[in-house]
Each structure stands twice: as C-alpha cells, then as structure tokens.
Amino acid sequence: MEEKDLYAALGVDRKASADEIRKAYRKLARKHHPDVNPGNQDAENRFKEISEAHEILGDPDKRKLYDEFGMAGAQSGFDAEQARAARDAYAWRATGSEPRGGFGGYENFEDIFGDIFSGRGSHGARSRTGVRAAGEDLETELEIDLLDAVRGLATEIGIDRREVCATCTGSGLDLSSAPICSQCGGQGRVRVGEGPVAFMRTCPRCGGQGREGTKPCPTCSGAGQTSRRERLSVKIPPGVDTGSRVRVSGKGGAGIGNGAPGDLFIRVVVRPHRLIERRGDDLHLDLPVTVVEAVSGASIDVPTPDGAKVRVRVPPRTQSGKQLRVRGHGMPRLKGDGRGDLYLRVVVHIPEDGGEEVERAAAEMSAGYKSDPRSSMRF
C-alpha cells in the first residue's frame, strides 16, 4: 500500500486540533474544487488527495489508527487488535525482545502484514520474498557445586522453548474458519482506477489477507508461537566459574522462515564449597596435620578436589599456616591447557584426648622454643 502523509496533504502539523484540520480542509477544498477548476487535472488530483486526508484525519477513530498503523490502519474492516498482536508477535520474534512500539525495522505496517501473510500460495496471497530471521538466543541459569566445576558435569536442564505455531505457521490467525474475501476473491489485492492509470492496491475489505473475519488461531491464541517444555542434556566443561556462559548451539528459539535457530546460553553459578576456596585457577584448602607430623615431618596422602589422591611431604618443623603447593591439581583452565595449583594450608591439630601424659609431653616440648612465639607481635 502506498504510504501517504495525510498531514502534509492538508498542510497541518501532526498535532493539529480537529478544528485546525477542518479549517485547513475547507480552505484547500474551496481552492482545488473541480467546479472552480474545470478541466484542470492537477487540481482534480489535489482535490482527491485532500478529500481522502480529511476523510481519515477528520474522523477521530480513523485518525488514531492512521497515526498508529499508517494507511493500512485507515482501511475499513481493519482489525487493530489483531494487527497489534501480529506486530508485537513479529517484533518479539524478530528481535527476541519484549513487545515494544515501532515496526521492528520495517518501514510500515503493511510490510509486516505482507510477511505474516506470505506463504499462503493456495489462497493467492501475494508472494513476497520470504522473510528470514535467525531465532532468538535463550539464556538460562544453572547452579552447580564447586566440585562439579572442577570435574565438569553432564546434566539435564528444563527449558521453555518458543516455537512457530504449527497450526497457523506463525500468522496467529485461524484461516480455516474464515470465508474467502468477497471483494478480492482471496487475492488480497484489488484493482483500482480505470484504463491506463489502473493499479493494484491492498484489498481494503480484508487488509490483504484474502480472508474475511479471521479469528485468532485456537492453538496459540493469536501469538503465532507456542511454548514447549523441553529437557536437554548438557555438558558443563571443567573450569567454569560463576558468570561463565556455556553455549548449546541451535537450542535457542526457532528461526523464522529458513532462518537458523538461535543458541541456548547457560549462565553458570558456582556454589561456594565449605572446605575449598577458589582463587582464579588455584584452589586453596586447609590440611590438618598431627603435632608429630608437623614437628618431625611426614609424607601423607591427601585427597584432592579433582578426585585424585596425592602424596604430600610435610617438612620437619612445619608451622600452622604454612602453604604447601601441589602443582597441577587446581582448577582446569577454561581457556587454554593445564590446570592451576592446589595450595594446602597446614593446620596443626593437637590431641583431643590423652590426659596427663599428653600434658607432660607438651611441657617437655617447651624446651624446644628458641624464643617467645609472640615476639613478632609489635604494633
């Protein structure tokens, strides 16, 4: 449909009052009336133009629809509710965002209509270049344990996938129940004008749909899309951290036309662990040792967060708080090879039991201190 600026035709502002529109129309109509300009084709065309502009802008309801949808909205039989639903559904599908104003990159409403009603070849609707748009990307959150982040995780997640409605193929309309348009015979376009100036325009009765009185699709209630709960097997690679996004290719929203489906992004949240602390690619862990191990030194077996077991040498006279590094048993690097390190912080455990014997042994150990252990505490 040819888009026209009706306000410009009357020479008024878009915010003009009803009174200003009426006055502008009267003034121009007097000037260009065919009776005043017999045989003047330019004047006749101009008169038609201002008459059409007044017919629409002079009617508050039609003016509102024209402001919102352009010329398509001013046609008789235009279903604004359905058009808004279709437009929003389109903007939603095309951009992956919530419905919002505007035409989602389309120049006018008719372009959207054309796309929505394309692909109905059997009803003789105009065949347009099929619209193609990649499906929207979806995002979901997954909370995992730190140990799963260290080792990687294969799990199942549930997502709501929106798909083009199979019943209406995305038009949002129930075409089966609607009779073929009596004005255009289902073509969606009608011939207007006579002889050499004849041209085709969108059928005003059906708005180009080729059908009359269409109702919203019973399956999707007019949204053009349906939602389906789906369980997906996903693999979380070792090394992820809170904020990591894991992409599952092709598992986002359905594409439009032949457009590729979008991707699913899993936003990972790693729960803190009660014993292990992560610092970058390194892991930190307390290592409890006995007084004897700390004093005399020992080789001890230590389980590591990656599920392995390492033998760690505790040197003689190891104080509480000393860090022992175990190379390559930290976090796997998400980008790049290898792993960070595991740091074991020695914590000397005294015997919980043992009575006087233990106390005697401890007293004997006092001889071994070279200086006051608190001598460095000066503030």
d(CA 379, CA 375): 11
Name the amino acid, one letter, at 15.
K
**Does 126 engage in binding with Zn ion (CB under 5 A)?**
no
**Does 173 engage in binding with Zn ion (CB under 5 A)?**
no
Binding segment (CB under 5 A) for Zn ion, from list 19-27, 53-61, 102-110, 211-219: 211-219
**Does 89 engage in binding with Zn ion (CB under 5 A)?**
no
**Does 220 engage in binding with Zn ion (CB under 5 A)?**
yes
**Which one of 138, 146, 181, 294 is in contact with Zn ion (CB under 5 A)?**
181
Q: How many chain residues are in contact with Zn ion, going by CB under 5 A?
A: 12
Write out the DSSP string of 23-39: HHHHHHHHHH-TTTSTT
**Does 82 engage in binding with Zn ion (CB under 5 A)?**
no
Give whichever of 84 and 205 is closer to Zn ion, judged by the CB atom.
205
Write out the DSSP string of 260-313: PP--EEEEEEEEPPSS-EEETTEEEEEEEEEHHHHHH-EEEEEE-TTS-EEEEE
Give whichever of 190 and 232 is closer to Zn ion, judged by the CB atom.
190
**Which one of 56, 184, 236, 264 is in contact with Zn ion (CB under 5 A)?**
184
**Does 331 engage in binding with Zn ion (CB under 5 A)?**
no
**Does 165 engage in binding with Zn ion (CB under 5 A)?**
yes
d(CA 344, CA 304): 10
Binding segment (CB under 5 A) for Zn ion, from list 22-30, 58-66, 87-95, 158-166: 158-166
Three-state DSSP state, 10 = helix
**Which one of 108, 167, 242, 290 is in contact with Zn ion (CB under 5 A)?**
167
**Does 289 engage in binding with Zn ion (CB under 5 A)?**
no
Say if residues 341 and 327 touch (Cβ distance below 8 Å): yes
**Which one of 9, 12, 203, 287 is in contact with Zn ion (CB under 5 A)?**
203
Give whichever of 82 and 167 is closer to Zn ion, judged by the CB atom.
167
Three-state DSSP state, 42 = helix
Burial (CB count within 10 angstroms: exposed 0-12, middle 13-18, buried 19+), residue 238: middle
d(CA 152, CA 318): 35
Give whichever of 167 and 242 is closer to Zn ion, judged by the CB atom.
167
Contacts of 322 (CB under 8 A, 6+ apart): 345, 346
Query: Structure tokens of 335?
Result: 């980008």
Binding segment (CB under 5 A) for Zn ion, from list 220-228, 274-282, 316-324, 355-363: 220-228
Give whichever of 255 and 305 is closer to Zn ion, judged by the CB atom.
255
Three-state DSSP state, 365 = helix
What residues line the site for Zn ion (CB under 5 A)?
165, 167-168, 181, 183-184, 203, 205-206, 217, 219-220
